[in-house]
Structure 1
């Protein structure tokens, strides 16, 4: 399988970003549990224009992250792995399984309780972390596995966005929502009129974000819907969409996501922290990500291939699908994001974040070790074949 220049650049950025995320997360946890604890935590809670710094990151800067996801999704639909039913069917089936099975495991443990709203938490995959771990395996990783995991994670992100829009919206201010959608419609008209100047779209995007923020629908959704009115053209390097996606990759990977990680992992860990994990909510998160993700991704992929709905790409083995499923259990960014929306009790949020961190570390280690073993076995088998 030949990888496009755009895909290679995307994969490289996600790889570096994932490794940086790992570093800043460890740093944040260290500072939150050091002699600097009080100053470090109060910094993120500092009031800035009526909202904390953490709030501005989660509701403001993360909108740019979602804009990038939207642009990546648009590219995949028009020119990437999702541009044909044949190519898209396997990662779509895998993503459905990777969302439904973890949610089912969580609900089996939490249905009817105060924490059942957290069902969306184990449904998410952190694309930067997952690709970052995969990249550590080097050139032995087949291109088909890279593409499968990337497409799976992109679809997974779309699923998480839909879950946020539908299930984590409480009260709606319809006038503000109507104004936001009206601005989107105006930008759509500009798109159809082939207006390629990016400025009107960015101004419109800021206005959309403001009215969406005050509508009750989470403001970050603005980023995704804005992406689909930014002119895509023929998708080459001169298109507005491609230029904006290329421009946003580094700020998102090296500024926005690290800031999000630091702001949301400044967790003081007490000596009895493990006792707080003895709860159906944390069990649901850990089992959903560590067990539910690989199980759902593998089972739904197997069902799809067995039913003739999709095919296994060349050089992609079932062992690779299982390994990708394990890496899919790295929830982190999206899981933490949904946690903040799902719960209001600070203690529940803290222990949910700890559960996400544990599950993501376990999933990352399992996925890395399993794929390393699998790829090594394949290499040994090839070396035994007489030439």
Structure 2
């Protein structure tokens, strides 16, 4: 399963899964697939009433956010975000990449009943964006990948906060309070994984992780937040091997299954003029809003740096590479769409198609910009006279 660790493979699998979902949804077996997705697999003795689709978005996707939280903690402690100086550019660029797409969306969508969708185009898909960079970015300096990774990690952190704050309905304090000691116990035990007792401790960690997930779900907060809390609480020495073990499953199963399920939408039988403002707000905000917001944020951050450090600032061409790839919302944007306009909301399908269209446009633009930048740097290297 080593090949499933490849960023290129992960990006290709996401695209194929989404294309397959849209294609099958608009085929004769589309209604049958929708029936399966909406079928309930309830566990009433735990208070869980979830459809197959919700088991995927609330359950499987929690593993993805668990891995994202591990990545976030690593970047904050030992990576590209471990000092305020390192974090300044990606942090301000990420904030710009959230604010501008949200404003673009709101410029298109004036209906008060639909404004809740503004978080949809604010996300960046780490796996997809890094996959496109790996596919066409041969020869680019490592700082480009580091900036894209740091920006996407901060973007995910903002997305996590938005999910927790905006999409929590009917908050239940008792299970939420009960989840806190469970997460703390998970973190405490993770520091005890060693020696002969390791299998027992690992089994206990799995049980505590599942208990935390159930309690967070029962609290009314989206279940993926449980994955985030567990990932942040886990001991670094255990988190690294755990991420290494789960990464192929996330790239090869969890994300493609989610992309396939989320893309099971029927293309509306309307012309371009018949598409709702939600479609245009998302489809334009992802490639255009992200480009403007990330680039503007990076330029502002550059001006805030001390003059002595500006000579080492990232070239604008490299910033444009990151800004174009940052418009690939995909996984998290699809989740946001499902939370903001859950089916059978009339604009749910259009929101999904807008995320796919906007992300693909951003991927194509990003691939062109990345390829041109990489080719220019390779040509400069090859033509540089020998000393």
Please report how far the alpha carbon of residue 138 of structure 1 lies from its aligned counterpart in structure 2 after TM superposition: 4.6
> 1:20-78: per-residue Cα shift (whole Å, max 9, x none)?
11111112222122232222322222332353211110111111111111111111112
1:173-192 counterparts in 2 under 5 A? 173-190=172-189
Please report how far the alpha carbon of residue 316 of structure 1 lies from its aligned counterpart in structure 2 after TM superposition: 4.1
Give distance in 1, aligned partners of 2:311 and 2:189.
39
1:1-387 counterparts in 2 under 5 A? 13-49=6-42, 50-111=49-110, 113-190=112-189, 194-196=191-193, 197-232=201-236, 239-272=237-270, 274-277=272-275, 279-308=276-305, 316-344=314-342, 345-387=344-386
Deviation larger for 14-23 or 327-336: 14-23
> 1:100-134: per-residue Cα shift (whole Å, max 9, x none)?
11112222333562111011101101111111111
> 1:176-207: per-residue Cα shift (whole Å, max 9, x none)?
1111123223334546xx42333333211111
Mark the runs of 5 or more structure 1 residues left unpaired by the alignment: 1-8, 233-238
Q: 1:32 to 1:301 in 2, by over 3 A?
A: same
Give distance in 2, aligned partners of 1:206 and 1:123.
29
Mark the runs of 5 or more structure 2 residues left unpaired by the alignment: 43-48, 194-200
Please report how far the alpha carbon of residue 167 of structure 1 lies from its aligned counterpart in structure 2 after TM superposition: 1.1
Deviation larger for 95-104 or 214-223: 95-104
Q: 1:79 to 1:29 in 2, by over 3 A?
A: same
DSSP-derived class of the 1:133 partner? helix
DSSP-derived class of the 1:346 partner? coil
DSSP-derived class of the 1:177 partner? helix
Calculate the aligned-residue CA RMSD, in Å.
2.3
Q: 1:10 to 1:151 in 2, by over 3 A?
A: farther
Deviation larger for 158-167 or 315-324: 315-324
Please report how far the alpha carbon of residue 315 of structure 1 lies from its aligned counterpart in structure 2 after TM superposition: 9.0
Counterpart contact for 2:290–2:327, Cα < 8 Å: yes
Counterpart contact for 1:11–1:131, Cα < 8 Å: no
Please report how far the alpha carbon of residue 88 of structure 1 lies from its aligned counterpart in structure 2 after TM superposition: 2.0
Give distance in 2, aligned partners of 1:84 and 1:168.
31
Give distance in 2, aligned partners of 1:169 and 1:276.
32
Give distance in 1, aligned partners of 2:3 and 2:74.
11
DSSP-derived class of the 1:51 partner? coil
* TM-score normalised to structure 1 length: 0.89
Runs of 4+ in 1 over 6 A off after TM superposition: none
Counterpart contact for 2:124–2:156, Cα < 8 Å: yes
Give distance in 2, aligned partners of 1:59 and 1:328.
25
Give distance in 1, aligned partners of 2:129 and 2:265.
23
Q: 1:205 to 1:273 in 2, by over 3 A?
A: farther
Give distance in 2, aligned partners of 1:210 and 1:67.
15
Counterpart contact for 2:302–2:313, Cα < 8 Å: no
Please report how far the alpha carbon of residue 240 of structure 1 lies from its aligned counterpart in structure 2 after TM superposition: 1.0
Q: 1:160 to 1:378 in 2, by over 3 A?
A: same
Give distance in 2, aligned partners of 1:27 and 1:109.
30
Give distance in 1, aligned partners of 2:311 and 2:260.
38
> 1:242-274: per-residue Cα shift (whole Å, max 9, x none)?
111111101111000011011110112244263
